[in-house]
């Protein structure tokens, strides 16, 4: 039986998008922005795949996958379920910290992902994985903004 993780497919797609943009978009700053977007997506998606399969030990529902009742990649449980709340707490704290750091620049996309994470956090196993993804996405977008406006480097040196 072939089990497919949709997040793995998204990570591979994001990686391929970086290569595509590098080869096909030459005009600056468009090329740099396109590659950065793909790289940020690849970072978060690949981190999610690693967290799911190595840190948390995702256990997919193979019986319903075989019968076609559940979407491919449906999560039944985690081998290390006790780690998930800690991961969510740490991801939420990091996202909050970075959003606060760049708050004067109104980091709307980061806040959007952070609020999505909060709404998914207490749901099903799939929802909790989505919350982790959204917290990480919020953090990386806020950190990128902090690099662009110089706030991040200033905070590190302080």
Q: In 3D, which of 99, 143, 137 has the Cα closest to residue 116?
A: 137
What's the confidence (pLDDT) of residue 55? 94
> Beta partners for 16?
none
What's the confidence (pLDDT) of residue 66? 53
Q: In 3D, which of 85, 73, 101, 92 has the Cα closest to residue 137?
A: 92
Whether 120 and 142 map to the same domain: the answer is: yes
CA-to-CA distance for 58 and 49, rounded, in angstroms?
10
pTM of the model: 0.84
- Distances, alpha carbon 37 to alpha carbons 18, 73, 95, 136, in Å: 8, 25, 18, 14
Domain span including residue 23: 1-79
Q: Is 122 in a helix, a strand, or coil?
A: coil
Whether 40 and 58 map to the same domain: the answer is: yes
Whether 111 and 155 map to the same domain: the answer is: yes
Structural domain count of the chain = 2
CA-to-CA distance for 57 and 64, rounded, in angstroms?
19
Whether 21 and 72 map to the same domain: the answer is: yes
What's the confidence (pLDDT) of residue 3? 45
121-158 pLDDT per residue, tens: 998 888 999 999 999 999 999 999 998 888 877 776 66
Whether 30 and 3 map to the same domain: the answer is: yes
> Which of 79, 94, 118 is where one domain is finished?
79
> Which of 27, 48, 79 is where one domain is finished?
79
Whether 61 and 42 map to the same domain: the answer is: yes
Whether 74 and 92 map to the same domain: the answer is: no
What's the confidence (pLDDT) of residue 73? 57
44-55 pLDDT per residue, tens: 999 999 999 999
């Amino acid at each position: 039986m072939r089990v497919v993780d949709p997040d793995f497919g998204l990570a591979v797609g994001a990686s391929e998008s970086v290569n595509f943009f590098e080869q096909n978009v030459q005009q600056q700053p468009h090329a740099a922005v396109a590659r950065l977007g793909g790289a940020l997506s690849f970072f978060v998606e690949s981190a999610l795949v690693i967290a799911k399969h190595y840190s948390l030990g995702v256990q997919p529902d193979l019986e319903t996958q075989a019968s076609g009742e559940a979407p491919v990649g449906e999560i039944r449980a985690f081998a290390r379920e006790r780690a998930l709340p800690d991961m969510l707490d740490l991801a939420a704290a990091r996202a909050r910290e970075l959003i606060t750091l760049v708050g004067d620049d109104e980091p709307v996309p980061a806040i959007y992902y952070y609020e999505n994470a909060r709404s998914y956090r207490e749901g099903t196993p799939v929802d909790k994985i989505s919350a982790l993804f959204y917290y990480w996405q919020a953090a990386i977008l806020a950190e990128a903004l902090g690099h662009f406006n110089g706030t991040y480097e200033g905070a590190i040196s302080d």
